[in-house]
Structure 1
Amino acid sequence: ALLFVSFIALITELPITLQYLSSGHVKPADERFCLFWIWYNYSLKAIDLFLMAWTSIERHILIFHSYLVSTSIGKLKWHYIPLVICFIYIPLFYFLCVIIYPCENNFDYSSHLCHSICFHKITWLSIFDWITNILLPSLIIEIGSVTLLIRILIQFKKMKRTIKWRATRKMALQLISIASLYSIFWISFTLISIIRLFFIPKFLDKLTLYYFHYSPYFVQLLMPCICLFCLPELWTRKNRVVPTQ
């Protein structure tokens, strides 16, 4: 699911951003397009974060409580239902905030994402958005990854070099590698955004404008590379396609 969302973002939303960066203007310069772009951008990024947050939790279940997903009902409850909730809640939330919420937008077509959306001016709604859709999943990713590593190290002596340990190590490596990618780009973006939102509006203004604002894109760009790194069997010679003479 993470790869799928990253792929969709790279082939659909990223080209819009690249077009803006190349021309310096939003095209088409239309209010409806801005509303769609903001909704689509926010939805994709939040879905990506939520999926990674749930993956951080799900790895604990798969490694230490695998009996919970040993049945069809268990898989439905602990795997598919959270994914469905993620794909429904986030687009619906931003649809209500961006498209439906009754406030006046003042778009700037020379700014990325048309500069702003009016629901950000509603303090309680903006705070709820940041805490629920950005800060909370970011913290879950960090806490879930760190606690998983600690639990695995504690169990290391008990499991030793068994087959179960090798499988556990592989799943842990996958999670920690991907979580590190999210931490590098999302945590810094989140912390700076919170400082700007609640304390110092102009904090690291230029750095935010030219770097941190676009840092989440690097997660989606690097995700396939991290996944390949975590799946070395894809690189073995027997799985390579050798062209015929």
Structure 2
Amino acid sequence: MTASGTVAFENSEISWPRSLRFWLLLIFDIPSIACSLFVLYHILINRKSRHALHNHTIIILLIIALIFQLTDIPWYLDFIRQGFVWPSIPVRCLLWWLIDLGFYNTAALILAWTSIERHILVFHNRWISTKKKRFYVHYLPLYILIIYSITYYTIVIFFPPCHHTYTYILPVCAASPCHLFHPILGLWEMGIHGCLSTILVAFFSISLLIRVIIHKHRRNRVFRWRIYRKMIIQLLSISILYLVLNFPIMIMSVAHLCGLPAYIGVEAQQITFFLTYWVMFLLPFVTLSSLPSLRTNICW
């Protein structure tokens, strides 16, 4: 309850029975781990796939998803089994927040860059025609994003300018590190890591599709559709997955920022927050479906 006695996101739990959540998470987590390992193995073991520029962000996303599947989900399952966060110590909450919030939003930032970079790979390949250009256009932005995200979340979670409240009787320790309520950091978190990432993914994914359609229908232009089809379908598939499960959260966050009382839409927030786990569950399968060469390696 809040100070006024109303229910808010940070002090409530989704109404779905814990037993239902347990089996949903367990049933999806096991095949997701297997699929993540399968896709990563086949991308990394193949030299051509490993060095393909369009696969680098996908590899990072799959690694993040695998870490998520191996840590965040088992911790949630253990919470349901125990009935509380165990061990009930601050470091457990800090690590859980780092994975659940930090890694998830890092994946969102990487996906936003991926949606931008696909335009470069498809329509401006001269920008990456030399080793030096590839470093500045392809590798450097990735390095900056990863270093920034690791640094940012390490500071705001482990060395915050505020005092954390550890709620051991709620999943993910209430998923509410104190910086989310900081007047500056909270706005930065929601505005940049949340809303802006979602908007960038939507805008650049849709604009990529529009540009492809336009180029395909211009007779005076040669567009190598067969070469770029895989990376275009790959981005659109992952973007749709991300947007479907994250767009409702963005809408609700903006509504609360614009004055909607915190107690309105709490249940919807809890449900959408829980469903975002399926971004990490389904990511390896969506990636696999966009790689026909890998699908042929599966023995049914």
TM-score (norm 1): 0.89
- How many residues in Structure 1 have an aligned counterpart in Structure 2? 239
1:169 aligns with 2:205: no
1:204 aligns with 2:261: no
Paired residues of 1:195 and 1:203 also in contact (CA < 8 A): no
Label 1:202 to 1:159 Cα distance change in 2 as closer, same or farther (>3 A). Answer: farther
Paired residues of 1:185 and 1:215 also in contact (CA < 8 A): yes
Instruction: After TM superposition, give the deviation of residue 57 of structure 1 in Å.
Output: 0.5
Label 1:158 to 1:112 Cα distance change in 2 as closer, same or farther (>3 A). Answer: same
- Corresponding residue to 2:210 among 126, 133, 150: 150
- Cross-structure match for 1:117: 177
- Cross-structure match for 1:195: 255
**In structure 2, what is the Cα distance between the partners aligned to 1:160 and 1:26?**
63
- Cross-structure match for 1:55: 114
Deviations 1:11-31 (A, max 9, x none): 122211222233331111111
Secondary structure of the residue aligned to 1:101 is: coil
- Corresponding residue to 1:135 among 195, 210, 222: 195
**In structure 2, what is the Cα distance between the partners aligned to 1:189 and 1:122?**
19
Unaligned runs of 5+ in 2: 1-59
- Cross-structure match for 2:36: none
Deviations 1:176-200 (A, max 9, x none): 1111001111111222233235422
CA RMSD of aligned residues (A): 2.1
Instruction: After TM superposition, give the deviation of residue 240 of structure 1 in Å.
Output: 5.1
Amino acid of the structure 2 residue aligned with 1:67: R
Instruction: After TM superposition, give the deviation of residue 161 of structure 1 in Å.
Output: 11
| Structure ranking higher in helix proportion | 1
- Percent identical pairs in the alignment equals 30
- Cross-structure match for 2:276: 216
- Cross-structure match for 2:295: 235
Label 1:240 to 1:122 Cα distance change in 2 as closer, same or farther (>3 A). Answer: closer
TM-score (norm 2): 0.74
Label 1:132 to 1:163 Cα distance change in 2 as closer, same or farther (>3 A). Answer: closer
Instruction: After TM superposition, give the deviation of residue 75 of structure 1 in Å.
Output: 1.6
- Cross-structure match for 2:101: 42
Amino acid of the structure 2 residue aligned with 1:57: I
- Cross-structure match for 1:4: 63
Paired residues of 1:6 and 1:221 also in contact (CA < 8 A): yes
Secondary structure of the residue aligned to 1:126 is: helix
